Chain A
């Protein structure tokens, strides 16, 4: 005899779960091995850079002419640069600026982008047209040029640099959120929320935005990598961080003159940047999956 169809899937849900939603998300995040690797990479980078003095015995700006262009050995594990400064030290200290600005810029641009994008996508029609055309203007300016204009008017410094970089990222995150919101706002559950008395803001925050998390996180983690490169661009023309303060992008930029003759000055900063991007991407993907109840177990 056939079993009653409606009884079959109940086994799946036949567990009375009693737990906080966030601890649930965390436990799922840590069960994901690749995601855990991402978390470890990010944490490692943060610890190394924040507690930089504990991991090196050189100051980041100590020059030593006889020690120029030393290949990695016991005293300089990543070699020295063209001024004889220890590269490992400079990369650790440099990570402070690079990571801070890159993360800050990504947070700022996505925060503003989510707000603008959701308003634009949800209300549509004229609101949408006005906002989107304004963003088009912003997008028409090359990102680096825009960042140059802003940081030269605000002055240098980590927060100003982060602001300068985040502004050019806003249109991209706003567009991603807008298109996601537009695809969700016509679904029946949004109509149901309206029908049960939810006002617009509540519909946006409680019903629509939680469903835009996937593209948001992917965009934000990818953005961090792009931001590191943007900072180096600014530093390169003297608007980001001033020498001798190290920063990954500027170490790379300074080292490019020696790329044929001295590989460590290019390879090691690149490895740090790559690890950052990789770590955040793995972490972001895992976070996205952990936050999606449909992918549970």
Chain B
């Protein structure tokens, strides 16, 4: 299927008292319709900011966003609101993302009311359909969020995102606040919905095992920059960037007999505030050489469809 969304050299800088924070620094990618792009990285690497910038909930500092063939980087407020009907977001925390004073019915109907789409009777019907779709029993329609558990609350969040029938959804760590058993339910739900409705996802998470099952492509972020991007299978089979290797070897494997070579990452995250002109991973990289301290690496296609930003990627991987 064709390309739905493309980001070109996307940047988002925040002014802070200690300097300019490069939350998202030169990120480019494209997603085909119906695919899922997994965005992984540790806390504070800018992955949530990236999701919001793409949705135009935060104005990008620089770069372009092309959605359905149209440049949406600089649009009027009115067009921006129209975009909400096509692009939606599912939030991380199902507790704080639902207004405690609204019933389930009101919460799911809210986007419909905002756009004055239907009469109130039709809206009720539509809300019930959405509740069926996300597997939320209709008897909860007049319940309040605090009466429901995390999984059900997250289903409300999903239903609300689907209410406007968007084509593209940013899932911002939608399962990281949930119990493991419920995580699987929500992930399955998201996958089913994707198949039924041809949705396109950006799936932001710090949990590699989650992203492995749901993503077509995976983008690994580190302090605002992209360090590696390729197909999901390829990433797990042949991680090339030292940071990705470290991340993957940190996934626990439930097998006591298997001996694995571990790439342990040491040190702390480099601050994304006023970064020095060097590779941002240099302080933690076991393979760092002189050039890594002199200039930032370029992001290049090492193998077909496999992008890495590392000076020594060929040497490290024996290519």
Give A133-166 as 1s and 0s: 1 = Cβ < 8 Å from B's Cβ atoms. 0000000000000000000000000000000000
Q: Are B164 and A13 in contact (CB under 8 A)?
A: no
Q: Does A197 contact B (CB under 8 A)?
A: yes
Q: Are B91 and A198 in contact (CB under 8 A)?
A: no
Interface segment among B1-9, B11-19, B136-144, B306-314: the answer is B136-144
Please name the residue on chain B nearest to A294 by beta carbon: B146
- B137 CB to nearest chain A CB (Å): 8
Please name the residue on chain B nearest to A198 by beta carbon: B114
Given A189-B98, A191-B57, CB of A197 within 8 Å of CB of B149: no
Please name the residue on chain B nearest to A200 by beta carbon: B77
A9 contacts which of B57, B100, B147 (Cβ < 8 Å)?
B147
Q: Are B114 and A202 in contact (CB under 8 A)?
A: yes
Cα–Cα distance between A21 and B304 once the two chains are bound (Å): 60
Q: Are B144 and A189 in contact (CB under 8 A)?
A: no
Given A9-B147, A13-B147, CB of A196 within 8 Å of CB of B100: no
Q: Are A195 and B101 in contact (CB under 8 A)?
A: no
Q: Does A16 contact B (CB under 8 A)?
A: yes
Given A5-B181, A13-B147, A202-B114, CB of A197 within 8 Å of CB of B152: no
Q: Are B147 and A189 in contact (CB under 8 A)?
A: no
Could you count the A-B residue pairs with CB atoms below 8 Å apart for me: how many are there? 93
Q: Are A207 and B99 in contact (CB under 8 A)?
A: yes
Cα–Cα distance between A16 and B131 once the two chains are bound (Å): 15
Q: Are A197 and B97 in contact (CB under 8 A)?
A: no
Interface segment among B29-37, B80-88, B244-252: the answer is B80-88
B139 contacts which of A14, A199, A292 (Cβ < 8 Å)?
A14
- A93 CB to nearest chain B CB (Å): 42
Q: Which of A188, A206, A293 lies at the interface centre, i.e. has the most chain B CB atoms within 10 A of its CB?
A: A188
- A202 CB to nearest chain B CB (Å): 7
| CB neighbors of B among A178-194 (8 A) | 187-189, 191-194
Please name the residue on chain B nearest to A213 by beta carbon: B101
A residues touching B (Cβ–Cβ < 8 Å)?
A: 5-6, 8-9, 12-18, 187-189, 191-199, 202, 206-207, 210-211, 292-294, 296
**23 CB-based A-B contacts, threshold 8 Å:** A5-B149, A5-B181, A6-B149, A6-B152, A8-B149, A9-B148, A16-B142, A188-B93, A189-B99, A189-B100, A191-B97, A192-B97, A194-B57, A195-B84, A195-B88, A196-B88, A196-B111, A196-B160, A198-B114, A206-B110, A211-B100, A293-B101, A293-B146
B residues touching A (Cβ–Cβ < 8 Å)?
A: 55, 57, 81, 84-85, 88-89, 91-93, 96-101, 103, 110-111, 114-115, 139-144, 146-149, 151-152, 157, 160-161, 163-164, 179, 181-182, 185
